[in-house]
Amino acid sequence: MAMDLIQKRLLREVADLHDVPAGAYNIRADGQLAGRNTTANIDIVTKTDKPGIDIIVKPGTKNESMHIPVIIEKSGLQDLVYNDFFIGEDCDVTIVAGCGINNCGTQESRHDGVHSFFVGKNSRVRYIEKHYGEGDGRGTNVMNPTTIVELGEGGYMEMETTQIKGIDSTIRNTTAKLADGAQLIIKEKIMTHGTQYAETNFTVDLDGEDSSTNVISRSVAREDSRQMFNSNIRGNNRCAGHSECDAIIMDNASVGARPEITANSVEASLIHEAAIGKIAGDQLVKLMTLGLTEKEAEEQIVNGFLK
C-alpha cells in the first residue's frame, strides 16, 4: 500500500500512526479500502449490504489493538460508512478510530461514520476516536459520528473522543445500553473556533443492576463558534450515573448544556454537574505574575483544560 505525504500526516493526526500499524487495521482513504490486515483473533470483513466493515474479535482475545482510520483528501467527497464491532466474551482490546479530512477544495467534504459496539460478557474495550480537519480552501469539513454501544454483563468500555479545531460542523450522537454490572466511561474533548458548530448528544440507558456510567465533557469554544451539549442518562435499575459538562467560553462564542437525568427506579442514583464560564480571572493573573503575557496565560489554561 502506497500512501502519499498528506495521507500519512492525516493518519498521524487521527491514529498516532507513523506508518502501517502493527496488528489488525483497516484504512479507508477517499471512500476506498486502502489497506487491511487481520490477525488470528481479529477478523475484518467487508459488508455486502452497505458500505462498511464487520470487525469480529474472538472470545478471550487479550491485549490486542486495532486501528480503523478514515482519511479524506478529495474535496466534495461525501462518505458514509457503517463499522460494526463484535467483541466476544472475556476480551481486553484497544480500538483506535478516527477521521482526518484534508480539504483544499471549495466543496463540502463529509464523513458520517456509524460505529456499533457489541461488547460481550466481562470484556474490556478502550475506544479512542480523534477527529481532525485541515485545508486551505474554502471547503467545509463535516463529520457526524454516531456511536452505538451495547455492553454485555460485566462489560466495560472507555470511550475517548477528541475534536480539536478543523471540523466546521459536527453532530455526534452516542447511545448506549448497559447490562448488569456493566460500566461505561465517556471522555469527550472539544475545541471549536471560527464559525464552527459542534453538538453532542449522549443517551445512556442503565438497564442492568449495578450498571454505571460517567460522562465527562470538557470543551472550549472560541471566536464565533457554537456548541451544544445534550445528555440523558436513564437509570432503569439499581445503578449509578454521573455526567459532567465543563466548558470555557471565549470571545463571542456560545455554549449550551442541556443535561437530563431520568430515574425509573428508586435505586437509581444519578448526578449531573454542568459549568460554563470564561477563564477565571485569578488563573490569568496568577500565570501573569509568573511572567506570561495574558495571551500566553490563556493558551496554558486552555491546553491544560483539554489535556
Partner 1 sequence: MLELQHISFEAETDDGVHKILRDVSLTIDERMVVITGPNGSGKSTLAKIIAGIETPTEGTILLDGENITHLSITERAHKGISFAFQQPVRFKGITVFDLISIASGKKLTVSEACNYLSEVGLCARDYVNREVNGSLSGGELKRIEIATMLARGTKISIFDEPEAGIDLWSFNNLIKVFEQMYATIHGSILIISHQERILENADKIVVLADGEIRAVGDKDEIMPELMNASGICSRLVDRV
Q: Which stretch binds partner 1 (CB under 8 A): 18-26, 222-230, 264-272, 298-306?
A: 298-306
Residue closer to partner 1 (CB basis): 19 or 281: 281
Q: Which three cell numbers stand for residue 111?
A: 464523513
Among the listed ranges 82-90, 163-171, 252-260, 286-294, the one in contact with partner 1 (CB under 8 A) is 286-294
Q: Under rule CB under 8 A, which residues in 116-175 are in contact with partner 1?
A: none
Helices 294-306 and 281-289 pack at an angle, to 10 degrees, of 120
- Of 6-14, 113-121, 123-131, 277-285, the segment contacting partner 1 by CB under 8 A is 277-285
Confirm or reject binding of residue 306 to partner 1 (CB under 8 A): yes
Minimal distance, residue 297 CB to partner 1, in Å: 8
- Contacting residue, 62, 137, 290, 299, with partner 1 by CB under 8 A: 290
Indicate the helix (H) or strand (E) that contains 306.
helix 294-306
Q: Which of 12, 246, 260, 263 binds partner 1 (CB under 8 A)?
A: 246
Distance from C-alpha of 116 to C-alpha of 164, rounded to nearest angstrom: 23
CB nearer to partner 1: pick between 268 and 301: 301
- Integer Cα distance of 219 and 164 in angstroms: 9
Site string for partner 1, 192-221 (x = CB under 8 A): --------------------------x---
Of 91-99, 116-124, 234-242, 280-288: span binding partner 1 (CB under 8 A): 280-288
Q: Where are the beta strands (DSSP E) in the chain?
A: 24-29, 32-37, 42-46, 52-57, 62-72, 78-87, 92-102, 109-119, 124-134, 141-143, 146-151, 156-164, 169-178, 183-192, 197-206, 211-221, 226-235, 239-249, 254-263, 268-277
Query: What grid cell was written down for 156?
Result: 466495560
Pick from 198, 208, 202, 152: which is nearest to 174 by CA?
Answer: 202
Phi, psi of 63 (to 5 degrees): 55, 35
Shortest distance, position 125 Cβ to partner 1, whole Å? 25
**Which listed residue (4, 251, 273, 294) binds partner 1 by CB under 8 A?**
294
3-state SS, residue 182 = coil
Q: By CB under 8 A, name the one of 102, 150, 287, 298 that touches partner 1.
A: 287
Residues that bind partner 1 (CB under 8 A): 218, 246, 280, 282-283, 285-294, 300-301, 303-307
